[in-house]
Amino acid sequence: MWKTATLRRLHRRLGLFIGIQVLLWVSTGIYFAWTDIDEIHGDHLRGPASQIDFDENWISPSRAATTLGPAYRNLAGLELVRIAGSTFYQLHSAQEPGRMALVDVHTGVVRPPLDRNEAMDLAREHFVPDGRIVNAVLLESADVGAHHEYRGGSLPAWRVEFDHPSKVHVYVSAEGGEVTKFRTRKWRIFDFLWMLHTMDYLGRDDINNPLLRSASLLALLLVITGFWLWRRTHRPRSRG
C-alpha cells in the first residue's frame, strides 16, 4: 500500500505534467458546446440544393457508364448534378477510387472538368449572401496537406474566395461539377481547437492517436489519486 506522501508527490507531478492538457480539454470543450455546428459548417451561407426534374428521355446510367470505358464498368456511386441549367450523371469509378466523370443525361456526351469561370458561377449560385468573388485557384493533390482546410476533399478542386466578413472559401469539385465544402473563419478556429483537443498535431482528425490515449490515461490517474488523497486525508467533523 502506497504511503500518503508518495501519493501526494505522484499527484503533484501528474498535475504539472498533464494539467495543461486537461485545461485545454476543458476550454476547447466549452467552446465546442457553445458554438453552432451549422455555422461552423457554413450552412447558413449555403443555398438549398437545386431541384432536378426527371425526364423520360434521359439515357440510362448503364449507357452513360459505357461511354466512359473500362474504368467505369463498376460504379462506386452515381449522382445527379446541375451545371449551368444542364443535368449530368456524376459517376464514381470503383476501379479507381476518387475518380469521377460527368455525362450529359440527354446526349451521353462526357463533360470536361469545370474551368475557372464555370467554378466561380457555380460557387456564386450556391452562396446566399451578397459577396464579390476576389479569387479562384485550382488545387491539386500537391496543394492540400494534412492540415489544409480542404483535406479529404475531392481533387482537383477550385477554391473560390469571397469578399465577405466570414472569410469564406467555397470549394468546387472540378471533375464532380458540384460545391463540396464551405470553409469560414469560424471553421478554421474550430479546426485549430479540435487539433488541441484531440492532440493529433499531424492530421487533426485521428481521435485514436497514441498521444491522446496516453494523456487520457494519465488524466484518469490524476483524478483517481486526487480522490484517493481526499479519502486518506479527510477527517470527518466531530459532532457535539
pLDDT the model gives residue 189 = 96
Residues 6+ apart with CB under 8 A from 73: 65, 95
For the chain, percent of residues with pLDDT exceeding 90: 60
For the chain, percent of residues with pLDDT exceeding 70: 89
Please say if the pLDDT value at position 239 is more than 60: no
Q: How does pLDDT run across 26-61, given as a tens digit for each residue?
A: 999 999 999 999 999 999 999 887 788 888 889 998
Q: How does pLDDT run across 108-137, given as a tens digit for each residue?
A: 999 999 999 999 999 999 999 988 999 999
Q: How does pLDDT run across 79-116, given as a tens digit for each residue?
A: 999 998 899 999 999 888 888 999 999 999 999 999 99
Q: How does pLDDT run across 175-199, given as a tens digit for each residue?
A: 999 999 999 999 999 999 999 999 9
pLDDT the model gives residue 222 = 75
